[in-house]
Chain A
Amino acid sequence: MPEAPLPIVDFSNVAKSFGAVRALAGVDLTVRPGECLGLVGHNGAGKSTLMNVLAGTLSPDSGEMRILGEDIRQRYSVALAHQMGIRCVFQELSLCPNLSVAENTRVVHPTIKGPGWRGRAGALILGKLDEIFPGHGIQPGDHVGDLSIGKRQMVEIARAFTVTAAPLHLVILDEPTSSLDAVTAGQLLQYMRKAIGQGASCILISHVLGEILDYSDRIVVMKDGGVVAERPATGFSRDTLVAAMGTVARAPAAGQAAQAADRREERPLSVRVRPKGRPGGAALEARRGEVIGLAGLAGHGQTATLLQVFRAARGRDPDTEVTGAVALVAGDRQTDGIFPLWSISRNIGVRSLRRMLRGGLIDPAAEAEMAEDWKRKIGIKTPDMNDNILSLSGGNQQKALFARALGSDADIVLMDDPMRGVDVGTKLEVYDLVRAEAARGRTFLWYTTEMDELKNCDHVFVFRNGRIVADLARAELTEEKVLHSSFTEDA
């Protein structure tokens, strides 16, 4: 029998601490050639830290690291990782917005230089984009800053798969589908399988458990900085996977959302909006205490509509009726959500400053009280709410943004796909919170690309090309109907 090929990655007992926080408590990890390793776990379970160690951006405190059989622990770096064929698509995008697509490609390929480099870099990335995402509509000369977040993610992913001098052994995909719509996400996952068929390996990190179960060969579950389960993907089901992560599996709260629907007409109106710019299409109506879903493929006018409502609440807009104060939970939390230099409590309190005034100044006691209150209610994992917001993991940052909106005086809460890259446990908690707040009379407008989340809505409006093309009550909502409305034109 021939000897088994060397594993690409062979980590044993890798540990890393940040001050008192133990991010990795002795992790073993192996990736073999030609396999897709699914990596799941809560936010803060240590996945991102482990991937940063693997990509060379963090060096571990102790442990053994072998890449392709070579012991590289002492001299590992980003450059060496790249040379050894390890690429990473990080959760926060790592493209330069001021450079073109071709220039961003060149940045990761030091060998593309000399006359004509721009053309070669452009051809390289365009070829890969065509291969992974046919019909992507991206030009190599486009400035990344002008592209939508979904297209940026497509560029980032395609860039990770491009090959020049260094070989390609392993691509780490950290939440790769979080900003992609269903079609492009499918294209990516299929391409990933094809690349694996050609001998490459992938580590797939995703909170969409279906992707993990369907597309990986082996699944590793992490919890509290360690690996708690590792089995072939066929050995897991959705429920056992969730159980392994430590959350109790639970059927979606079907039915309970529907009860309000019949008495709809009696409730006072809180929002009526007709998307601007595109004539035709229906208007969106939300009544008090309703959770309204904005569905459809990513980037078809849902965010624009939310912003239209947001603006109409402060100014006058003949097309938009808004009764009451609004708060927005941003989806792109790095750019639109958090104040990166502020503490967690300030980030939560900023929408409610007027309430916390005493003699024209902010009352620190009131601010601290609000922060502690929401730390409890929404379960933000931190030793101290006065720590910087960036000390939180991604999911906990998002919780803080929810706390900001829910803790404010807003009657209407706009949510711009806020669950991107948030773990299942947090999601379930937030769903409950949304239902509870809706029952107390708040109205939610919720843009989401995930079917599971739409099931929490009383009413769903499907967007296509900036227009509302379908209006589904809770009772008639099915995935087929949403998909059908999203695609009618193309089908």
Chain B
Amino acid sequence: MLAQVLSPRALRAALPAASLVVLLAAIFYIQPRAMSYFGLNLMLQYAVPIALATIAQMFVIAINDLDLSIGPFVGLTASIGATLLASSPVLGVLALIGCVAAYAALGALIHWRNLPSIVVTLGMSFVWLGVAVIILPTPGGTAPGWIKAVMGVKLPYVPFPIVAAAIIALVVHVVLMRSAYGAVLRGAGGNARAIGRAGWSLLKIRMVMYAAAGTFGVLSGLSLIGLTSAADAHIADRYTLYSIAGVILGGGEFVGGRVSPIGAVLGALTLTLTGSFLIFLKISPDWQIGAQGAILIIVLALRALIKRREG
């Protein structure tokens, strides 16, 4: 039993949660007042959009691709949400559906022409940004009231972002990790040829995964304007790197279809909290990105150590 708990696989699965706990403990030690409903709510405010973007990235990484356009895409959907969706809901919904369809089409293109996803999505990131700037040339717009209402829900005892993150993690976990088709989807990342030989359409799998990524990108953009009430084309530019870091922090691997939705959400929470942690440490914002990178390197180094034991 003990051997099982201490096995490298178990340790690896526990690492994302352990990193989060260590970080929380450090924050509470430095700033005990953060250990409250209000404190957690404030610190984790932006966890929901980051977690959703991380999940979007995870779908793409699960089939050995990488999405370098998720940040600008979230910016675009936020811009649509704060303009079209508020002014003419039908048109707004259609536009957002179009965004998801565009993502699925990208997946089809990448599969059909056998293109490197990095190149395609890097190119698309400028397209998304350009469209967002056309829709919303200057920061502004207003988020629809119902989104603000959802994001502003006050739950008893547990802050909303924590509940929302848990729901996101569980739903995606059930769909991707526990469902029968989810096994096929992940299998395509592990050994695409075997999945093809078993009679599954790899084109459809890639389109499903990209459509899922697009859907979560849309949700991320909407949840973001629910918090900020206005949008900006550049509002989520950093999310590309946040989402990749979140997946990797959460125990995912760039290749091989090894991903974990629960881990990815925990990774997103950890990344969100590092910001607050660094503020509590009175580190100037100029250094924050670097410090976040350092935390990422420490966690990845720990994982490499565990992996060495595994091998």
Residue B214, interface by CB 8 Å: no
**Other-chain contact of A107, B200, B256, B258 (Cβ < 8 Å):** B200
Which label, helix, strand, loop or mixed, suits the secondary structure of the B interface? helix
- Interface pair A98/B9, CB less than 8 Å apart: no
Residue A96, interface by CB 8 Å: yes
- Measured CB to CB, the nearest residue on chain B to A156 is B194
**Inter-chain contacts of B187 with A (CB < 8 A):** 96, 98-99, 103-104, 107
- Interface pair B257/A55, CB less than 8 Å apart: no
- Interface pair A78/B196, CB less than 8 Å apart: yes
A198 smallest CB distance to B (angstroms) = 24
8 Å CB interface, B196-210 against A:
196-200
8 Å CB interface, A108-125 against B:
108, 110, 112-114, 117-118
- Interface pair B194/A110, CB less than 8 Å apart: no
**Inter-chain contacts of A99 with B (CB < 8 A):** 183, 186-187, 190, 257
Residue A455, interface by CB 8 Å: no
- Interface pair B256/A94, CB less than 8 Å apart: no
8 Å CB interface, B166-201 against A:
178, 180-181, 183-184, 186-187, 189-191, 193-200
- Beyond A104-B187, A107-B183, whether A98 also contacts B256 by CB under 8 A is yes
Residue A413, interface by CB 8 Å: no
* Residue in B181, B187, B193 whose Cβ sees the most chain A Cβ within 10 Å: B187
- Beyond A79-B199, A113-B181, A118-B178, whether A95 also contacts B257 by CB under 8 A is no
- Interface pair A94/B186, CB less than 8 Å apart: no
**Inter-chain contacts of B191 with A (CB < 8 A):** 94-97
Q: What is the CA–CA distance of A110 and B190 in the complex, to the nearest angstrom?
A: 18
- Interface pair A78/B199, CB less than 8 Å apart: yes
- Interface pair A108/B190, CB less than 8 Å apart: no
- Beyond A112-B180, A113-B180, whether A98 also contacts B198 by CB under 8 A is no
Q: What is the CA–CA distance of A98 and B189 in the complex, to the nearest angstrom?
A: 8
- Interface pair A97/B256, CB less than 8 Å apart: yes
Residue A57, interface by CB 8 Å: yes
- Beyond A113-B180, A113-B181, whether A78 also contacts B189 by CB under 8 A is no
- Interface pair A95/B180, CB less than 8 Å apart: no
**Inter-chain contacts of B190 with A (CB < 8 A):** 96-99, 145
**Inter-chain contacts of B257 with A (CB < 8 A):** 96, 98-99
- Interface pair B178/A96, CB less than 8 Å apart: no
**Inter-chain contacts of A55 with B (CB < 8 A):** 197
8 Å CB interface, A61-106 against B:
77-79, 82, 88, 90, 93-99, 103-104, 106
State the interface size on chain B (CB cutoff 8 A).
22
Q: What is the CA–CA distance of A94 and B193 in the complex, to the nearest angstrom?
A: 7
- Interface pair A103/B183, CB less than 8 Å apart: yes
- Measured CB to CB, the nearest residue on chain B to A94 is B194
- Measured CB to CB, the nearest residue on chain B to A110 is B199
Binary contact readout B254-270 vs A (1 if CB under 8 angstroms, 0 otherwise): 00111000000000000
**Other-chain contact of B180, A57, A79, A97, A117 (Cβ < 8 Å):** A117
Q: What is the CA–CA distance of A79 and B202 in the complex, to the nearest angstrom?
A: 13
Binary contact readout A146-157 vs B (1 if CB under 8 angstroms, 0 otherwise): 100000000000
**Inter-chain contacts of A96 with B (CB < 8 A):** 186-187, 190-191, 194-195, 257
**Other-chain contact of A114, B9, B180, B197 (Cβ < 8 Å):** B180
- Measured CB to CB, the nearest residue on chain B to A100 is B183
- Beyond A106-B183, A114-B180, A117-B180, whether A94 also contacts B189 by CB under 8 A is no
Q: What is the CA–CA distance of A108 and B194 in the complex, to the nearest angstrom?
A: 9
- Measured CB to CB, the nearest residue on chain A to B7 is A146
Q: What is the CA–CA distance of A117 and B181 in the complex, to the nearest angstrom?
A: 10
**Inter-chain contacts of A110 with B (CB < 8 A):** 199
A78 smallest CB distance to B (angstroms) = 5
B282 smallest CB distance to A (angstroms) = 43
Q: What is the CA–CA distance of A118 and B187 in the complex, to the nearest angstrom?
A: 15
Q: What is the CA–CA distance of A94 and B190 in the complex, to the nearest angstrom?
A: 10
A376 smallest CB distance to B (angstroms) = 34
* Residue in A79, A82, A94, A143 whose Cβ sees the most chain B Cβ within 10 Å: A94
B208 smallest CB distance to A (angstroms) = 15
- Beyond A104-B187, A107-B184, whether A95 also contacts B194 by CB under 8 A is yes
27 A-B interface contacts by CB (under 8 A): A55-B197, A78-B197, A78-B199, A94-B191, A94-B198, A95-B191, A96-B186, A96-B194, A96-B195, A98-B186, A98-B187, A98-B256, A98-B258, A99-B190, A99-B257, A103-B183, A103-B186, A103-B187, A106-B180, A107-B184, A107-B194, A113-B180, A113-B181, A114-B180, A118-B178, A143-B9, A145-B190
A107-B184, A107-B200, A108-B199 are known contacts; what are 20 more A-B pairs with Cβ within 8 Å? A77-B199, A79-B199, A82-B198, A82-B199, A88-B197, A90-B197, A93-B194, A94-B194, A94-B198, A95-B194, A96-B186, A98-B186, A98-B187, A98-B258, A99-B186, A106-B180, A107-B183, A107-B187, A107-B195, A145-B190
